[in-house]
């Protein structure tokens, strides 16, 4: 299909203005690239729903050690990253170095947490085992039945809505051009990605195109099948409650547990907002908030912290995580010249924002990923890589 001639051109066109697209655009513009972002609502997307835990240690899973290294690299960058964004834009990001307490409510949970503790220790991570009594001393609102827990002082939080707004402001200051419309189709000419056509028929041309569309990345028209990222939507329902001043401090750090096999977490902000998340549902593009989802979150959170039933419930929302086959992001060049990916961040988009921005700026400038990001090349999912046998 032929495309209309490009009326706008840039060095770098980022398709998708969520936090991953924005940080990519900001860092690219800082490197001197003329950069544009195409998105109907920059700063929207999953960041409007996410709780913003920076949980490299408490969200460690067996088999994900490679991802752990990237998560830790990004967590280490957060203090400077947040300070830079705040200095530049004046936005308070709600970055709170409060730590996390993961607790167990029964013997099964305790066994699970003990295993997590052992894995953390094998991986050289800092966490401390506490008795139930010690957990309640730290967080008096915890249920009396808490059987023990893991104190992780290095897992912090940020407010993703504030982060997204600050990134929009930083992009504007850096001269990033925003096209506030949906990208309908990637443009490919002579086997090279050359831009996109928007829903209003505008042709955007670019030297390099970064597809950073979150869960939508896997279905942009015009992307050849063999480079279309294997990204799927994983629904998460999240609640927001408000802690009235007379109850503060309700919780002083993030508190989480696995209740009946599902993760529940309570993330307290200094503003008084208390975020309770999250369901994990494979239901395609559905973003309905359901009675069942809200019920399960409140039930599980109430088992952990019974006092939450006193708090006003101020918001219920569902978002879509961009899930990938190995739960890790896809970063860097594809087999289609001119097309790069920054997507598939699944449960770690907020945590991975600083390192993703740096990695994408590096690859846009040099053609190669920095060492720490190399394992996350999209090429690990190409047909050849998947059929390769170990020697």
**CB of 120 closer than 8 Å to CB of 65:** no
Query: From residue 111, how far is each of 9, 21, 65, 130 by CA, in Å?
Result: 57, 39, 21, 13
Smallest separation, CB 321 to ligand GLY (Å): 6
**Residue 236 lies near ligand GLY (rule: CB under 6 A):** yes
Smallest separation, CB 327 to ligand GLY (Å): 10
For the four alpha carbons of 96, 266, 316 and 321, in that order, the dihedral sign comes to positive
Q: What is the DSSP string of 53-98?
A: EE-TTTT--TT-HHHHHHHHHHHHHHHHHHHHHHHHH------B--
Buried b (16+ CB within 10 A) or exposed e, 279-310: bebeeeeeeebbeebbebbbebbbbbbeebee
**CB of 151 closer than 8 Å to CB of 128:** yes
Per-residue contact flags (x/-) with ligand GLY for residues 47 to 86, judged by CB under 6 A: ------x---------------------------------
Separation of alpha carbons 370 and 294, rounded Å: 41
**Residue 45 lies near ligand GLY (rule: CB under 6 A):** no
Query: From residue 374, how far is each of 59, 325, 333, 363 by CA, in Å?
Result: 22, 17, 11, 10
Nearest residue (CB) to ligand GLY, 17 versus 236: 236
Separation of alpha carbons 89 and 174, rounded Å: 11
Smallest separation, CB 353 to ligand GLY (Å): 13
Q: For every residue of 230-276, which 3-state class applies, written as one string? A: CCEEEEEEEEEEECCHHHCCCCCCEEEEEECCEEEEEEECCCCEEEE
Ramachandran category for residue 31: left, alpha or beta (phi over 0 → left; psi -120 to 50 → alpha): alpha
Count residues near ligand GLY (CB under 6 A). 6
Nearest residue (CB) to ligand GLY, 327 versus 382: 327
Q: What is the DSSP string of 284-302?
A: TT-----HHHHHHHHHHHH
Smallest separation, CB 177 to ligand GLY (Å): 31
Separation of alpha carbons 149 and 137, rounded Å: 12
Q: Which parts of 143-202 interact with ligand GLY (CB under 6 A)?
A: none
**Residue 232 lies near ligand GLY (rule: CB under 6 A):** no
Smallest separation, CB 77 to ligand GLY (Å): 18
Smallest separation, CB 46 to ligand GLY (Å): 9
Q: Looking at 218, 277, 329, 332, which residue binds ligand GLY (CB under 6 A)? A: 277
Per-residue contact flags (x/-) with ligand GLY for residues 299 to 328, judged by CB under 6 A: ----------------------x-------
Alpha helices for 104-159 (secondary structure H): 107-122, 132-138
Looking at beta carbons, which residue is closest to ligand GLY?
347
Nearest residue (CB) to ligand GLY, 44 versus 277: 277
Nearest residue (CB) to ligand GLY, 321 versus 362: 321
Smallest separation, CB 98 to ligand GLY (Å): 16
> Is there a cis peptide before residue 140, judged by omega within 30 degrees of 0?
no
Nearest residue (CB) to ligand GLY, 236 versus 357: 236
Smallest separation, CB 348 to ligand GLY (Å): 6
Helices vs strands, H then E, count in the chain = 8, 18
Smallest separation, CB 51 to ligand GLY (Å): 6
Q: Looking at 47, 251, 258, 278, which residue binds ligand GLY (CB under 6 A)? A: 278
Nearest residue (CB) to ligand GLY, 179 versus 347: 347
Per-residue contact flags (x/-) with ligand GLY for residues 339 to 368, judged by CB under 6 A: --------x---------------------
Query: From residue 65, how far is each of 68, 156, 371 by CA, in Å?
Result: 5, 20, 16
Nearest residue (CB) to ligand GLY, 277 versus 329: 277
Nearest residue (CB) to ligand GLY, 208 versus 326: 326
Residues at the site binding ligand GLY, with contacts judged by CB under 6 A? 53, 236, 277-278, 321, 347
């Amino acid at each position: 299909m032929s495309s209309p001639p490009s009326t706008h051109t840039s060095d770098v066109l980022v398709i998708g203005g969520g936090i991953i697209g924005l940080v990519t655009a900001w860092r690219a513009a800082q490197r001197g690239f003329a950069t544009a972002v195409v998105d109907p609502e920059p700063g929207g997307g999953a960041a409007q729903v996410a709780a913003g835990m920076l949980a490299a240690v408490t969200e460690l899973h067996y088999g994900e050690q490679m991802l752990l290294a990237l998560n830790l690299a990004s967590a280490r960058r957060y203090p400077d990253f947040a300070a830079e964004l705040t200095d530049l834009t004046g936005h308070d990001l709600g970055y709170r170095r409060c730590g996390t307490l993961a607790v167990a409510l029964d013997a099964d949970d305790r066994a699970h947490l003990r295993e997590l503790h052992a894995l953390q220790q094998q991986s050289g991570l800092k966490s401390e085992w506490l008795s139930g009594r010690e957990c309640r001393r730290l967080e008096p609102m915890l249920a009396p039945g808490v059987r023990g827990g893991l104190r992780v002082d290095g897992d912090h939080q940020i407010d993703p809505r504030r982060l997204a707004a600050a990134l929009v402001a930083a992009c504007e200051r850096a001269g990033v051009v925003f096209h506030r419309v949906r990208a309908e189709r990637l443009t490919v000419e002579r086997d090279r990605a050359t831009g996109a056509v928007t829903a209003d028929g505008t042709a955007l041309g670019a030297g390099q195109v970064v597809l950073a569309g979150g869960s939508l990345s896997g279905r942009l028209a015009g992307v050849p099948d063999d480079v279309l990222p294997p990204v799927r939507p994983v629904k998460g329902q999240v609640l927001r409650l408000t802690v009235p001043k007379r109850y503060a401090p309700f919780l002083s750090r993030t508190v989480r547990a696995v209740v009946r096999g599902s993760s529940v977490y309570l993330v307290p902000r200094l503003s008084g907002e208390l975020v309770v998340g999250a369901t994990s549902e494979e239901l395609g593009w559905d973003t309905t908030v359901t009675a069942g989802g809200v019920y399960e979150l409140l039930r599980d959170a109430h088992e952990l912290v019974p006092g939450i039933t006193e708090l006003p419930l101020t918001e219920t929302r569902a978002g879509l995580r961009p899930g990938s086959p190995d739960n890790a992001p896809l970063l860097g060049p594809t087999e289609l010249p001119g097309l790069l990916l920054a997507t598939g961040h699944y449960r770690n988009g907020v945590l991975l924002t600083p390192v993703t921005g740096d990695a994408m700026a590096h690859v846009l400038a040099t053609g190669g990923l920095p060492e720490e990001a190399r394992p996350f090349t999209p090429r690990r999912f190409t047909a050849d890589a998947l059929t390769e046998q170990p020697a």
